[in-house]
């Protein structure tokens, strides 16, 4: 919980990630992960024996049914150590093996170039800049769309 309860973590994530992040939020996430049908779509990122973040995917529906939307985060004490890149590389391989997905994609808010670099190092390619596509922290901002294809 200590790694999730930071404004800068929340500022770079979808609004369903709460701030402040409470003990009850952590327990609800663990319960949701434990109840999920195998294989689990959400995992903790663990470094030196301690959970320092999370990573997961949601399958898109309808025409996008073979696409998984990725999300990931690390607490500030874990930033800049390569954990996100390592987790994303491993999770992408896991997702393609465990699910019948053909595409993984992630959206990055314009003020987060570090996440763009993580995605690029993990084999994702920038596909588009979506102008004024997100409203976060009281601002209408651009987003970057990154994707990686099965076998790519």
Query: Which CATH number belongs to the domain containing residue 134 in this structure?
Result: 3.40.630.30
Q: Looking at the chain, how many residues does it have? A: 152
Whole-number pLDDT of residue 6: 87
- If one counts the domains in the chain, the total is 1
Whole-number pLDDT of residue 1: 59
Whole-number pLDDT of residue 76: 94
1 located within any domain = no
Phi, psi angle pair for 145, to nearest 5°: -110, 120
C-beta of residue 3 within 8 angstroms of C-beta of residue 75: yes
2 located within any domain = no
pLDDT (tens, 9 = 90+) of the chain, 152 residues, equals 578 888 999 999 999 898 888 889 889 988 988 888 899 999 999 998 999 999 999 999 999 999 999 999 999 999 999 999 999 999 999 999 999 999 999 999 999 999 999 999 999 999 999 999 999 999 999 999 999 999 97
Whole-number pLDDT of residue 68: 98
Phi, psi angle pair for 103, to nearest 5°: -145, 140
Q: Which structural domain range is residue 24 located in?
A: 7-149
140 located within any domain = yes
C-beta of residue 121 within 8 angstroms of C-beta of residue 85: yes
Whole-number pLDDT of residue 54: 94
Whole-number pLDDT of residue 2: 74
43 located within any domain = yes
C-beta of residue 37 within 8 angstroms of C-beta of residue 62: no
39 located within any domain = yes
What's the pTM?
A: 0.92
């Amino acid at each position: 919980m200590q790694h999730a309860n930071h404004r800068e973590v929340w500022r770079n994530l979808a609004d369903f990630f709460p701030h402040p992040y409470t003990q009850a939020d952590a327990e609800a996430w663990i319960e949701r992960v434990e109840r999920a049908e195998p294989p689990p779509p959400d995992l903790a990122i663990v470094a030196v024996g301690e959970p320092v973040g999370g990573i997961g995917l949601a399958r898109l529906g309808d025409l996008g049914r073979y696409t998984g939307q990725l999300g990931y985060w690390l607490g500030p004490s874990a930033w800049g150590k390569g954990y996100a890149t390592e987790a994303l590389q491993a999770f992408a391989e896991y997702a393609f093996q465990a699910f019948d997905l053909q595409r993984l994609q992630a959206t990055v808010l314009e003020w987060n170039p570090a996440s763009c670099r993580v995605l690029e190092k993990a084999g994702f390619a920038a596909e588009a800049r979506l102008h004024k596509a997100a409203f976060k922290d009281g601002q209408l901002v651009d987003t970057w769309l990154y994707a990686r294809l099965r076998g790519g």
